[in-house]
A and B are shown apart, each in its own frame.
Chain A
Amino acid sequence: MGLRIIVCVKQVPATQEVKIDPERGTLIREGIEVETNPFDLNALEEGVRIKERVGGKVIAISMGPPQAESTLREALAMGADEAILLSDRALAGADTLATSYTLSCAIRKIGKFDLIICGEKTTDGDTAQVGPELAENLGIPFVPYVRKIEEIGEDYLIVHREIEEGYQVVRVPLPCLLTVTKDINDPRLPSLKDKIRARKAQIRVWTAEDLAEICERSRFGLEGSPTRVIKVETPPEPTGGEVLRGDPKELAKKLVEKLIELGFVR
């Protein structure tokens, strides 16, 4: 058989070391790197594993500034066969509605596909909305929070979807979209050889013009985004309550007394 698989990947600011400037109350950005959204590495890994299992092709796509190319090179090194970057000033400022619309235009332009895989969410936007909105824009079913693919059929998948109390085993027809959790796999580390191959590979760049052949320009970017960020601020820090110090045995006793006072011990 063989499946045509599209994986959506985004480049994000690495948030681990985000620090706040205490005087200005703003983010300190010096030396902050960008990285591929960690959940999207799981999405890529799963796409490549499916291809290795049943054959087919993996196409990585990303919408972002020109430097997002490095994320697509990472995707190629991990085993994607093709990479497409949607990059244009007219696409910037997109909220999830405009992002998912733009991605759906690009996917329509790509043509036939069987499966789309997204990360569960991004670490910067952290909305988990782009995947479901993209599926709706394309009119295909989706399953969110997938942590295992149990069966790959001719025209369907059976997957495990995480729910609060456990998981559901879900059968979904192809073509469809999945969003995957971190638990689904451990993304591979590409070898040096793979990285060199990826460095030489060609990445297609599509502009708003290329997408406007099949889509409405007014739905791209900031113009196509119904939501606006009107303020960004650092939440004020509280200053804490009572602090107990001293001999550990005494501390334990004092703490239990406090808990009794507050009614937590019956």
Chain B
Amino acid sequence: MAIEVIEEKCSGCGACVSACPYNCIQLIEGKAKIDENCCQLCGACVSSCGEGAIRISEAPRKAFDKSKYRGVMVVAEQRRGKIHRITYELLWIGRKLADKLGETLTCVLIGSGIRKEAESLIRRGADRVLVYDDERLEKLREDPYADLIVDAVRAEMPSILLMGGTSFGRALAPVIAARLKTGLTADCTGLDVDEEGNLIQTRPAYGGNIMATIVCRDRRPQMATVRYKVMKEAEEDPDRKGVVVEMRVPEKLRDRTVVLREVVEEGQSIEDAEVIVAGGGGIRAPEDFKLLEELANLLGGTVAASRVIVDKGWMPKSRQVGLSGKTVRPKLYIACGISGSVQHLAGMKNSDVIVAINKDPSARIFDYAKIGVVGDLYEIVPEMIRILREMKAG
């Protein structure tokens, strides 16, 4: 395995120098030089080079028989017997991929008393639903869930396996990938298939500054978790038909961790809100969030915050929007005093309508806003509240 610069082709443009995330490339006498001890073989330079002058040579791989693997499988998620909405997003993207491949879409449903939901998954696009229903599966735990999903994979041999990019899905999927010794791409925001049936996976990297495209050519299933609230939701079609398969849950379930108790901490999660009023660095004091709360109430929504606010302890982590917080996709997102860093944008840029209130006209958030308002939030928000209150009153 080696990386090399084909000197005749190198034009010395320096694109690779700035593309290298590890700072391992220098231009020496007009040619790119890669420090082999520093290089991580990530391939960023290869794709940055317009001249095709950088090459990673690999030893030929052991053949893996892909021919037995067909179809798309998605894993449904449930919370306390109710289907989690990520499932509908997985069915939407899963359906698209299955149609493009001309193959079936299978959905794995695991839980306690969950059998009744199987038909609704067919109405949302699944051709087959494999149900593992057992009272021991009520609480989410990695051990039994991983075993049952691996069981489903062995039974169906799907070529693609998609799971939710929720905190549970992101902890569970790697267990399955490690067991099946296959590739797993985290938190994808875009998925497609090429002519050869390879899953083309896109995801943000380096804090959302770049998008990486990743493939898993010679292992199956190709696994990905899908970022919540990025895909659309599959709609219900009351006439859709499909097959429900009851799967056997083994008498002995592997279960090494014990959930002693579960503590619910708050009401509405920001991920489910239709309207979000978010505050950022422009908010001067913690009590000023009362203002945003009032506006949110009048619009039937809830409040959220950027990371600077959460870092100050003015809002709980569960209300942070962005790369290291939640991804939201409300109908209306009002950003008050938020500059629009890539990390924040990563969590909200798919909202239907974005409104930005910011006194700096060059703030990046305005590039993403359908309606931008240049001004002081402390003047504008109270006035909006006054007008809306008046309207409600009469």
Chain A residues in contact with chain B, CB under 8 A? 13, 15, 18, 20-21, 24, 26-30, 32, 34, 64-67, 89-90, 92-93, 95-97, 100, 123-133, 135-137, 141-145, 158, 162-173, 176, 179, 183, 218, 221-223, 225-235, 237-246, 248-249, 251-253, 255-256, 258-259, 262, 264-266
Contact = CB atoms under 8 A, between A and B. Distances in A.
B183 A141 contact: no
Contacts of A158: 260
Interface string B117-147: 0000000000000000000000110110010
A170 B15 CA distance: 49
B372 to A, nearest CB: 4
Contacts of A24: 15, 18
Contacts of A126: 186-187, 204-205, 207, 323
B258 A232 contact: no
A126 B40 CA distance: 16
B170 interface: yes
A67 B24 CA distance: 12
Contact of A65 (B40, B47, B257): B40
A243 B366 contact: yes
Given A65-B22, A227-B184, A241-B369, 18 more contacts: A13-B206, A15-B207, A29-B23, A96-B186, A126-B187, A129-B177, A132-B175, A133-B174, A136-B146, A165-B264, A168-B263, A223-B59, A232-B43, A248-B380, A249-B383, A256-B384, A264-B331, A266-B300
Contact of A127 (B19, B23, B187): B187
A243 B47 contact: no
Contact of B213 (A90, A230, A242): A230
Contact of B183 (A226, A258, A266): A226
A27 B19 contact: yes
A29 B137 CA distance: 48
A28 B183 contact: no
Contacts of A125: 186, 205
A26 B19 contact: yes
Contacts of A168: 139, 259-263
A164 B22 contact: no
Given A132-B178, A166-B263, A253 B387 contact: yes
B198 to A, nearest CB: 10
Interface residues of B, number: 107
A211 to B, nearest CB: 16
Contacts of B214: 227-230
B247 interface: no
B111 to A, nearest CB: 15
Given A133-B174, A162-B167, A230-B214, A92 B41 contact: yes
B286 to A, nearest CB: 18
B186 A127 contact: yes
A132 B23 CA distance: 29
Q: Which 7 A-B pairs have the closest CB atoms?
A: A93-B41, A226-B183, A252-B383, A166-B265, A248-B379, A227-B183, A136-B178
B1 A129 contact: no
12 contacts: A15-B209, A24-B18, A26-B19, A27-B21, A29-B20, A29-B23, A93-B1, A132-B178, A133-B175, A142-B142, A163-B167, A165-B269
Interface of B is mostly: mixed
Nearest to B357: A255
A228 to B, nearest CB: 6
Contacts of A246: 375
In this complex, which of B19, B38, B179 has the most chain A Cβ atoms within 10 angstroms of its Cβ? B19
A245 B374 contact: yes
Nearest to A183: B317
A232 B215 contact: no
A126 B212 CA distance: 12
Contacts of B259: 168-170
Contacts of B269: 164-165
A173 B15 CA distance: 51
B306 to A, nearest CB: 15
Nearest to A163: B167
Q: Which of B1, B44, B56 has the largest count of A CB atoms less than 10 A from its CB?
A: B1
Interface stretch (B87-95, B100-108, B216-224, B236-244): B216-224
Contacts of B206: 13, 15, 18, 27, 124
Contacts of B323: 126
B207 A18 contact: yes
User: Chain A CB within 10 Å — which of B206, B217, B332 has the most?
Assistant: B206
A18 B380 CA distance: 33
Contact of B258 (A26, A170, A226): A170
A265 B207 contact: no
B383 A18 contact: no
Interface in B328-360: 331-332, 353, 355, 357
A232 B142 contact: no
Nearest to A142: B142
Contact of B372 (A30, A89, A96, A240): A240
Nearest to B38: A65
Nearest to B22: A13
Contacts of A27: 18-19, 21, 206, 209-210
Given A145-B167, A226-B183, A166 B373 contact: no
Given A65-B38, A165-B269, A258 B371 contact: yes
B391 interface: yes
B27 interface: no
Nearest to A228: B215
Contacts of A179: 171
Interface in B377-394: 379-381, 383-384, 387-388, 391
Contacts of A253: 383, 387
Contacts of A20: 209
B39 interface: yes
A173 B370 CA distance: 52
A259 B299 CA distance: 9
Contact of B17 (A29, A142, A266): A29
B51 interface: no
